């Protein structure tokens, strides 16, 4: 029994190492309020496997980018609008997103917005921490760089924390998936 458990542990370690061998970089979860940014990199979660770089254009998870695309928050409280991506659609390398967060009346909200970038099939994030800044004039959050350095499916999670900062739980969050081509 002991031997079995020890062996399982060793295999798990090996598996985790193998899963991360194909990719580099770490997940970056950041937030910013009113033009300042609070940086809080964290390591990417375990799991995932390296699946190569085959095209993801037909992957059923991915969204088709359109300007001003909107997504209801998972809690049904807020709406997240990806006003624009530069370049459009999002492409391999550096992107700049403009995001507006709206309440149920469609009024834009100011507060703290966080972004988390991950390649779910590879179990890693990005290697450059995005900076989030709120433009008080347009009520849009500018997020740059959204560094999608590798072809494949990228998960873009937006977390809105209001004025309470990223130490609190997000009030609502929405997730987009984009296929980045090589
Ligand atoms: Cu990857």
Cβ neighbors of 180 (< 8 A, separation 6 or more) are 56, 90, 91, 92, 148, 150, 151, 152, 153, 154
Segments in the chain below pLDDT 70 = 1-54
- Give the model's pLDDT for residue 166: 85
92-115 residue pLDDT tens: 999 999 999 999 999 999 999 999
Distance of CA 152 from the midpoint of ligand 1 (Å): 7
Comparing CA positions, the residue from 79, 69, 132 lying closest to residue 107 is 79
Q: How far is the CA of 30 from the centre of ligand 1 (A)?
A: 20
The rounded Å distance from CA 25 to ligand 1 centre is 9
Beta bridge partners of 31: 38, 114
Q: From ligand 1's centre to the CA of 35, what distance in Å?
A: 30
Which two tokens mark 178? 């984009």
pLDDT of residue 115: 98
Q: Tell me how far the alpha carbon of residue 20 lies from the centroid of ligand 1, in angstroms.
A: 9
Q: For the segment 113-124, what is each residue's pLDDT rounded down to a tens digit?
A: 999 999 999 999
């Amino acid at each position: 029994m002991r031997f079995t458990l020890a062996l399982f542990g060793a295999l798990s370690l090996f598996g985790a190492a193998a899963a991360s061998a194909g990719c580099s970089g770490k997940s970056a979860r950041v937030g910013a309020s009113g033009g300042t940014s609070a940086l809080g990199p964290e390591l990417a979660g375990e799991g995932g496997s390296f699946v190569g770089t085959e095209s993801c254009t037909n992957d059923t998870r991915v969204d088709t980018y359109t300007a001003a695309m909107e997504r209801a928050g998972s809690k049904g409280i807020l709406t997240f609008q990806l006003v624009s991506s530069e370049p459009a659609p999002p492409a391999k390398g550096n992107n700049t997103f403009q995001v507006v967060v709206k309440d149920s009346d469609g009024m834009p909200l100011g507060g703290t917005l966080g972004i988390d970038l991950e390649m779910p099939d590879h179990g890693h994030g990005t290697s450059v921490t995005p900076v989030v800044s709120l433009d008080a004039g347009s009520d849009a959050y500018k997020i740059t760089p959204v560094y999608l350095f590798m072809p494949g499916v990228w998960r873009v999670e937006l977390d809105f924390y209001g004025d309470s900062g990223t130490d609190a739980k997000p009030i609502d969050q929405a997730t987009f998936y984009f296929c980045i081509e090589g």
